[in-house]
Structure 1
Amino acid sequence: MGQRLERSAPEALGIPSRTIQTFIEAADSQIHELHSLMLMRHGSVAAEGWWSPYRAERPHMLFSLSKSFTSTAVGLAVAEGRLSPDDPVISFFPDQAPKTASDTLKAMQVRHLLSMSTGHIEDPTFLMRQRPDGDWISEFLERPIERVPGTHFVYNSGATFMLSAILQQITGMRLLDYLEPRLMQPLGITGATWELSPQGIHTGGWGLSITTEDIACFGQLYLQKGRWEGRQIVPEAWVREASLPQIANGSSPESDWEQGYGYQFWRCRHNSYRGDGAFGQFCVILSEQDAVLAITAGVAEMQPVLNLVWDILLPALNGEPLPPDPAAHEALHGTLSCLKLTPPQGEASSTLAAAISGRTYALAANERGFDALRFEAVDQDWEVTFLRGADAFPIRCGAGVWCEGASALLGFEGGVAASAVWSADDTLLLTMRFTDTPFFYTLPCRFAGDYLSIEGRVNVSFGPTRFDLLGRVR
């Protein structure tokens, strides 16, 4: 994979290699589930690393960090004269607006979608996604708007979807298609994907997948006030408006979620701002320090990640270059090149292995929707096949090592790294990392005669993280 960004020794950029080393060690001991990071200063990469089995060339699901890209598309459309932040939202959807629109709906403008100040008292996204006919636009417009738009902050992914819908309405192009020549191509972002609504509209508020270096390039573009390689890609005025606090969202001096909200960007402590997404996807822009930090992860709590940034990295961003420190730089390079998330260890075989191989277990009804599991020993590895209706999803699991491949088990084709070891004579422990996402699954498969029981766990989720699977040999 070609590198678009220049690389430099941290000391040449005013950052001690030892400090970055300390940050990595703290992340490994306190956070446990970073997948990648890229730290930039003065336009060059000071440090980058991917925790194996996550890879530099693989995209990572951004969740709500997608919103900042949607905001950028709106800014580009405003610059082209296609719309104004003052335009009423219902003006774009005459066929889907309620016949009798409330005064608050009539008052809702594009800027209120951008700043999460639509007047809703709760995010309507869940109800939009549950609507039987898939018409998310109508569901959004039909929801009660209890407050005057522009007066209260409520985090609202549905509002960002509406921005995507507006862009598609006025341009005749889906959001990503609109961004392709205007943002993606200039930044060298290739292979981006974005989830679609049932009506074929990019989801806007989530669903974009790109690489860590793509995230860093996007952050650097904003740090450079919209300029890239001598061209004004995004209007400087939009960068300023998007990154300034447009509405208050709390008052705690200790929370990076209560420093104000811009146009699909969060204000942070230390006079910085960011785009972020669930489970630890970050693009942090530190304008005063001329730095950008891109992170992907699979963490349940995001504030501790930023706390490490403020406590360890921020104080070390010196104004002037530092003397070379070859020993520290070499040690850091060694650490960054060997980052890894090690699969669980255990026994390679069991007295039950021969009997289990070739068996298919019919599963009781379960929330994961699986009908059956099939186990097959292959050399020292296991191939475990998840059966759902007519679909079969085989995953090869290495014996105490990651076996890397691809799977559509989560509903889309993506990378997977899986391992299998015997944690007890009757328990085959499966670990599956879906490496384009924050998610990994732990499935301790306990065998007792003809029966199988699994007390499964996913590391992060918007709902329960634990689930049970019960099966019997067919």
Structure 2
Amino acid sequence: MKKDIFATGTPESAGVPSDAVEWLLDQLESGFTEPHGIMIMRNDILCAQGWWAPFAPGIRHGEQSHSKTYSATAIGIAYTQGKLSLDERLIDIFPEEAPENPSEYLKKLTIRNVLCMGSGMREEPKASEHWIRDFLSMPVVDEPGTAFMYNTTGSSMLAAIVKKKTGMGMHEFLMENLYQKIGIDGANHKWIRTSDGIEAGGAGLFATLEDNFRLMKLYMNGGVWNGERILAEDFVRAAISKQIDTASEAKVNPPATDNFLGYGYQIWMCQPEGVYRADGAMGQFTIVVPDKNMEIAIMENASGAHWAQKTLDVLWEFLEKIPSEESLKEEPEKAEKLQRRLKSLSLPAPEFRPCGSASGKLYGRRLHFAEPLRLDAYGLLQGCSDAIREIMVTDLLITETEDPMTLRMKLFVENSADQNGSAEQDILVGLDGMRRESHLNTGMLNRLLAAAYWCKEDCLELSLRWIETCGTETLCLRVAEDGVTADLTGTLAFHDDQRNIKGYFT
């Protein structure tokens, strides 16, 4: 893979005040979100980038619906290469999965309609083995292209279309026709897949912040990279402009005001005029600002009720601080101070309280839970063939190690036949205010950082950060004479919390 190295410089050399970037970092660290990484480019100068430890540039991160823009790009490349027409009907592409007697509206449903979330459906099917057939069997209530409905299964249909029309899986197709050309390390990507092996193109990608940045830089460049046209000009023009009205989203998700302004090809329009973004749940944003020749990418976990809208509001305020000049007078002291800050970004360290009076009751004694604890770092796409699976913990054993500041937590797992026959999972847990990393046998995502402290004399709180996702799970064990009462909660908006689960010493 040939990887172009972006030109770098001070914020001022790119026309961005260092003070404005400092302000943006202050806002992101003020508590309304948990920032994981950020990149800022203006006038083709990468002028600010940083990752909040333990996140880092090369660590994959859950994309959620940012995956959709990769799927649309694959369609755009196939279109550019003449392998498909955007006006092809889905019933012609999938004749074997289409209903025997398709409705008149289904007969009109095209790739273009799916790209802009204008399928005409008012609901999408549940995950199943025959998901393509189920999608084509959903009632098409509105004429395709006339009504917006956010349809993640429809985005996965784009991956299925790519395979049908090119003979290649979407990941393989993107590796050959996109990643190698624009400097994305596709070997570091992981895709959740549907039961038939198709990439879950609606929300199933795990990639890096720079991958997202490069993807949207291609759109910012009008579909051209180093003089090679990868996406047709007319495809890019349509993709980044309003193709369908999304005012109906005000009823679906009222706080998300940046969702009311229109939708292109798996790309949202934004409040500042001409600005557009790729968007994944909990704040995975890559934003292009054409009139300032600027791009901003961010990864975070914004799981609150504002649904990441607060981040966008902050970014729009940040843009107001960017002057029209292409470069500014250098401010070396401010730029150096900012650079030191960007290199030392970190999420808050785990709490430190290694001792609790109930530790003697807990350590070395196996617990059996009345109801299995469901550890689940992702949980959005259960039923996909190689998605991370819930770890159904029936029993748990916490023991001390030779290192007094490290615990070993052994999980006894239910239904472990699909985990290479392993009935146990070992997790190292730091007690010294630092996380320990373990690699679990959990399918696609397996990197877990764990730390613990005694939040009360009789309560051990364990923080379980699945570093390849947005989310952290917290397991609180309140110790009594006969066992524990457990609460398992998570920071992901989709997490299914469990509380007051009884565990008995055996």
Which amino acid in 1 is paired with 2:271?
R
Paired residue for 2:119?
118
Shift of 1:465: 4.3
1:4 & 1:447 partners in 2: Cα distance?
A: 54
Instruction: Say whether residues 1:287 and 2:313 are aligned partners.
Output: no
Q: In 2, distance between residues paired with 1:392 and 1:189? A: 36
Correspondence for 1:442:
474
**Pair 1:20–1:55, CA change in 2 (3 A):** same
Evaluate the alpha carbon distance shift between residue 18 and residue 60 of structure 1 in structure 2; reply closer, same or farther with a 3 A threshold.
same
Q: Look up the SS of the partner of 1:336 in the other structure.
A: helix
Superposed counterparts of 1:134-145, under 5 Å:
134-145=129-140
Aligned to 1:274: 277
Alpha-carbon distance, 1:221 to partner: 1.4
**What is the CA–CA distance in structure 2 between the aligned matches of 1:329 and 1:221, rounded to whole Å?**
28
CA distance in 2, matches of 1:145, 1:234: 30
Q: Which amino acid aligns with 2:63?
A: L
Distance 2:349 2:499 in 1: 21
The SS at the match of 1:296 is strand
Q: Does 1:373 align with 2:376?
A: no
Q: Deviations over 1:230-261 (max 9, x none)?
A: 22222222111111100000187982101100
Task: Write the distance in 2 (CA, Å) between the matches of 1:298 and 1:408.
Answer: 23
The answer for unaligned runs of 5 or more in structure 2 is 375-391, 417-422
Q: Is the 8 A contact 1:366 1:468 kept in 2?
A: no
Distance 1:38 1:317, change over 3 A: farther
CA shift for structure 1 position 101 = 0.8
Q: Tell me, what secondary structure is at the counterpart of 2:70?
A: helix
1:414-425 alignment, distance < 5 Å: 414-425=446-457
Equivalent position to 2:487, from 455, 459, 473: 455
Paired residue for 1:200?
197
| Percent identity between the two aligned chains | 31
Shifted more, 302-311 versus 409-418: the winner is 409-418
Q: TM-score, normalised by structure 1?
A: 0.94
TM-fit CA distance, 1:353: 2.3
Task: State whether residues 275 and 288 of structure 2, in contact with CA within 8 Å, keep that contact through their aligned partners in structure 1.
Answer: yes
Contact 1:393 1:407 in 2 (8 A): no
The Cα of 1:35 is off from its aligned counterpart by: 0.7
Alignment of 1:21-170 (within 5 A): 21-122=22-123, 124-125=124-125, 127=126, 129=127, 131=128, 134-170=129-165
**Dislocated runs of 4+, deviation >6 Å:** 251-254
- On the 8 A contact 1:406/1:413 being kept in 2, the answer is no
Equivalent residues of 1:430, 1:443 under 8 A apart: yes
**Structure 2 residue 364 is the aligned partner of structure 1 residue 358:** yes
Q: Which residue of 2 aligns with 1:397?
A: 429
Select 1:242's aligned residue among 239, 243, 246. Answer: 239
Distance 2:371 2:142 in 1: 43
Of 308, 311, 314, 2:317 maps to 311
Q: Could you say if the C-alpha distance between residues 467 and 199 of structure 1 is closer, same or farther in structure 2, counting changes exceeding 3 Å?
A: farther
Per-residue deviation at 1:216? 1.1
Q: Relative to structure 1, is the Cα distance of residues 254 and 121 closer, same or farther in structure 2, using a 3 angstrom cutoff?
A: closer
Name the amino acid aligned to 1:351. S
Contact preservation (8 Å) 1:120, 1:145: yes
Q: Which amino acid aligns with 1:148?
A: E
Q: Tell me how far apart the structure 2 counterparts of residues 314 and 109 of structure 1 sit (CA, whole Å).
A: 40
Amino acid across the alignment from 1:469: I
Q: CA deviation at 1:225?
A: 0.8
Aligned residue in 1 for 2:208: 211
What amino acid is aligned across from residue 274 of structure 1 in structure 2? R
Cα distance change, pair 463–144 in 1 and its aligned pair in 2 (3 A):
farther
Asked whether 1:174 is paired with 2:176, we answer: no
CA distance, structure 1, for counterparts of residue 410 and residue 372 of structure 2: 16
- By how many angstroms is 1:346 displaced? 3.9
CA distances 1:3-36 after superposition (whole Å, capped 9, x unpaired): 8322210000000111101110111114230111
* 2:303 pairs with 1:322: no
**Cα distance in 2 for residues equivalent to 1:438 and 1:24:** 19
Instruction: Report the secondary structure of 2:321's partner residue.
Output: helix
Deviations 1:248-303 (A, max 9, x none): 00187982101100011001111200111111111111111111111111111210
For 1:370, what is the secondary structure of its paired residue?
Answer: strand
Q: How far apart are residue 412 of structure 1 and its match? A: 2.5
Give the C-alpha shift of residue 92 in structure 1: 1.0
Would you say the 8 A contact 1:60–1:209 is kept in 2?
A: yes
Distance in 1 of aligned mates of 2:440 and 2:202 = 23
Q: Give the distance between the partners of 2:320 and 2:232, measured in 1 at CA.
A: 28
Give the SS at the match of 1:429: strand
Larger mean Cα displacement after TM superposition, 286-295 or 394-403:
394-403
Deviation at 1:470, TM superposition (A): 2.2
Question: How far has the Cα of 1:352 moved from its partner?
Answer: 2.7
In the alignment, the residues of structure 1 paired with residue 49 and residue 425 of structure 2 have an alpha-carbon distance, to the nearest angstrom, of 33
SS for the counterpart of 2:278 is strand
Structure 1 distance, partners of 2:193, 2:344, is 37
**Aligned counterparts of 1:136 and 1:468: Cα–Cα separation in 2:** 36
Q: How many angstroms does 1:100 deviate by?
A: 1.0
**d(CA) in 1 for partners of 2:223, 2:298:** 21
SS at match of 1:371: strand
1:411 Cα shift?
A: 4.5
Instruction: Give distance in 2, aligned partners of 1:466 and 1:49.
Output: 35
Any unmatched runs of 5+ in structure 1? none
Partners of 2:361 and 2:481 within 8 A in 1: no
Residues 255, 26 of structure 1: alpha-carbon distance in 2 compared, 3 angstrom cutoff: same
Separation in structure 2 between the aligned mates of residue 468 and residue 141 of structure 1, nearest angstrom = 42
Matched, 1:227 2:230: no
Question: Aligned-pair RMSD on alpha carbons?
Answer: 1.9
Distance 1:286 1:409, change over 3 A: farther
